[in-house]
Structure 1
Amino acid sequence: MMNTYNRIALIGIEPEEYEVIRAHYTGHIIWHLAIPKIVVKDEVLFIEKANGVGMLPVDKVVYYGIYDDDFDFISGLAIWNGPCYPNAKGMLDCRFKIPCLIKALSLSQFSAPRGFVSAGATVTTTQDTVAKWGNWHCGENKHRFTGAWESEYTATIEPYFEGEAVRIMIIGNKHWQIQLEGPTWLKSIHPETAGFMQVDADLLADTLHIKKALQMDMIGNDYIVTKEGKKYLLEVNHIPNITRFETVRTVYLETVIDWITSS
């Protein structure tokens, strides 16, 4: 039976994923690869047409992506407070890395103290240290140093932890643990050698707790597990990569399609 939601918006969904969703939904779809203009009025969300002039009311939104200018857009979705996947309020709280990290560290049982450096300030350390800045992931905007370092940007600093980098990823009620890889100390999900591994029950429980507290529908938490077995939360991915592994992509699409077609 067709649900009552007859117009959905897909924002940031790539063509390959759009085609799958389109094949499973017969209602009207507004599809934008980039951030569209929106208006929220009388608790109704209007999104500009993909083709032509004007805006149309939308019943549900699926958002996937990270853009330089998407914070205001996500804020608009949160003000609308309508059906959005992932939950707009959760995305809003996690869009900026440093505020999200602060919240996550207060929730995690695997937190470690962080430092903070203002843009233009110099910090001096005697131990191996990592600075992180900006709101991108994938190993970008990170610097490892010992001694004096002047930060060009507002940054957090933390001890460099030697160990195995892993990600706990959760979409809906499915979860995986992924071993992150890379030729340098910077590890990510993208190298061909990255792959699935046995799930650590404690890391999964920690991620589930953070996911629930931050009202997130999907999450990717990165941890370091040292040789001594100590575990540390490194960062939270509010839009984790879903295309790197076909298994994850399939679950994401099934979850989105089920959410779209449910009343």
Structure 2
Amino acid sequence: MAGPGRAAAILGSPVAHSKSPALHLAAYRALGLTDWTYERIECTAEQLPNLVSGMDEKYIGFSVTMPGKRAALEFADHCTDRAVAVGSANTLVRVPGGWRADCTDIDGAAAALAELGIAEAASTHAVVVGAGGTAAPVLAALAGAGIGDVSIVARSRARAAEVLAVADALGLSTDVLAFDPTSGLADRAATAAVVVNTVPAAAAEPLSAALARAPRLFDVIYSPWPTPLAAAVSGAGGIVVGGLVMLLNQALGQVEQFTGMTAPLSAMAAALD
């Protein structure tokens, strides 16, 4: 796919804080694609179809962050099986006949779980805080890591319906816990292989004390860092991995799909540092 004057971008709202330009531009330069560009474009879910359709041929791909991941999946002419399975796409790639949607968020979450050493955990239970767009790819990564049952912490079962459907399709057993520190979270966290937080730091903070006994925490948030939850788990002796690991590893697949070349991991990791 590599060619002269190609362009890519991240679509989302808000998007000004995104570190994706640093990752992608570092990759393109390391690969010798000195005339490739990568920018941030403010874009809502409703705006995404018209915006992408109106881009000229130099645009080879888009990273998609919230709130456009479902819109990207629905817009695409072709979708990978895994994107369909989780109902979310963070990647759009120009292909013959239109656009292909993929979900490299699964790769990012899988890398974070591997860094936590989840394969060595005695338990096959996990706790996932939140039932929004990030939770579904996290569930796919958990299933791939050998987790068999998941407690989903959500405001209500109704709000968790889409995520519960994804979990069921993945063969995971699930239960729903109230978004309340007195809902049995402390015991579930203490006996889980891992707790995964998918909600903003401020939203998770009231649960920090209840979740502090988790042996492992993957917090998808990376700024500000550490989050109150990460500090609580680390302070109690747990192992913590933050969202930069997921960010880096989901970008690897995007770079490879955009360029057709092997992503330069070291150069991209250095860009985050």
Task: Pick the TM interval, shorter chain.
Answer: 0.3 to 0.5
Q: Which protein is richer in strand relative to its size? A: 1
Structure 1 length-normalised TM = 0.40
More helix by share: 2
Q: Which entry has the higher C-alpha Rg, 1 or 2?
A: 1
